[in-house]
Structure 1
Amino acid sequence: MENFLLFFETMPTWMKALWVFFTLGLFWILEGYYSLVVLKYKKWKHAKVNLVLLLFVMIINAIFGIATVGIFEWLDATQFGLLHLFEAPIWLELLIAIAILDLIAQYFVHYCLHKVPAMWRLHLVHHSDKNVDVTTGTRHHPIDFIIRESFALVAVVITGMPIAFYLFYRILSVAFTYFTHANISLPRGLDKTLSYVIVTPNMHKFHHHFQLPWTDSNYGNMLSIWDRLFGTFVYGDTSQIQYGVDIADHTDDESIAVQLGIPFNRNVKSKT
């Protein structure tokens, strides 16, 4: 187990970038064969703004990577955090760390992005995509992503996890992000069964419906237990889903300038 985690701790930057593009490419290809919805759009034209936003995300990741090194060195020196309060097998500590990261850095911050008006205006960029596919997983306003990364660091400090745990979680999170946003159709029975434990493509698509209450549901990224536990879980007929977000549907979802300006656009009203 130690050697497994050491691999992620020593993984070079180019390999992390390759993982991002490999998983993105894999689900891009699968969308062509196992589509959930026939999207009437130009796939590459649609992907342009999302991939530009991915570039911003990767730059922010690099900056936060420098910050996290200092945090992990401090945690190691002080033995601060929940994981230092008890003895447990390393695999159990890893599961606990992933669960807490998923709760704080995914579910909770995502909930806040919907409920806090100023944060919601940033998050509108993600929901303004009228054709949800794998590239939508990369579609975040830079400030939105900075907020997400900040919550991840809070989770790291609370747990006192080693850097290997955090890096493994990041690799896993990338795969889930593209998996859940991809326009792919799993057998309904399989998707529904998996949704009892993990977030699935069908489950997450309800979150991208253009109107409430579905928009404010299914906040999870990896584990579906948080949505079930806190009463935000929704599952039903995916044919009833319409992508986009009603308060910003008049904006051009394929213009990077328009999308970066949405949080500050007075013509885009907040749901509150």
Structure 2
Amino acid sequence: MRWSPIFITSVLTILSGTSARPTSNVTSTLYKRSVVCGLNVRTAVAEDCLDNRPLLNFAQSGSLTRPTVSRVAVPNDDEIPPGAACDHVVELQVLQEAMLQSGMCQVVAVLARIGISRATQLQAMANVINGPGNLIFLDSRINRGKASYVRNAMAGAQITNEVVANVAVNAYLRDQTVSSSSLVIAQHLDATITAILNDAVARAQQIPPLHPQVRPPNQQIADQQNFRNTVLHFASIPPAQRITVTRLWSRVLRATLVSVDE
């Protein structure tokens, strides 16, 4: 599979809109949730699930008030299964939240100011989160309810069966294959974040510090000093105290569905 560089994502989004195939859940809302540290990292559209057909296809089953999910066969054709969407299991909003809460977006920003583009920095994580291991065919009705479920679970908010879609989303995320494979994806994303930090630290250590009473003679040196101070401060935070994708995603997987009395 040839993954498209994230700096041409906007072009891919436009082109996918002209396709005769049904697109995945690409909407203005999802586009906003696809921004990580100021860059849209979403490259997975319907065509990605067609080029790397997921091995799993989940359809909604059960009753209208007690929906659940059932595995159904993936059709042997080149189309999205009827009524399905191309789902990111680990959502991009989880990656964005981890980058923000951990402070890594600040590291990305100062790297960009010394000439390392956001696209270069985030390409590896875009490849992981948009890769075939994180894509599953999922009933569109469940997929539409998944975003708010994940957002509430990350925040520790109560999730109830009063919103019927929550019941099906909960069943989907508790599927053993979905939960175990998505945790691996979360760990891979954390590895790409660590790689960005390690690269930043190596660059920062090559910059000699200015004496506190010496003003930078120009903007370039000022940016370098700001980069050095920001990165080394962040690197001094014990890893156990940093928010990670794995920690946030585990919170989503462990979320409990609360039954509301009718």
Could you say which structure has the higher strand fraction? 2
User: With structure 2 as the length reference, what TM-score do the two structures score?
Assistant: 0.29
Question: Structure 1 length as normaliser, TM-score?
Answer: 0.28
Structure of higher RCO (CA pairs closer than 8 Å, 6+ residues apart) = 1
- Relative to its length, the structure with more helix (as a share) is 1
When Rg is computed on C-alpha atoms for both structures, the one with the higher figure is 2
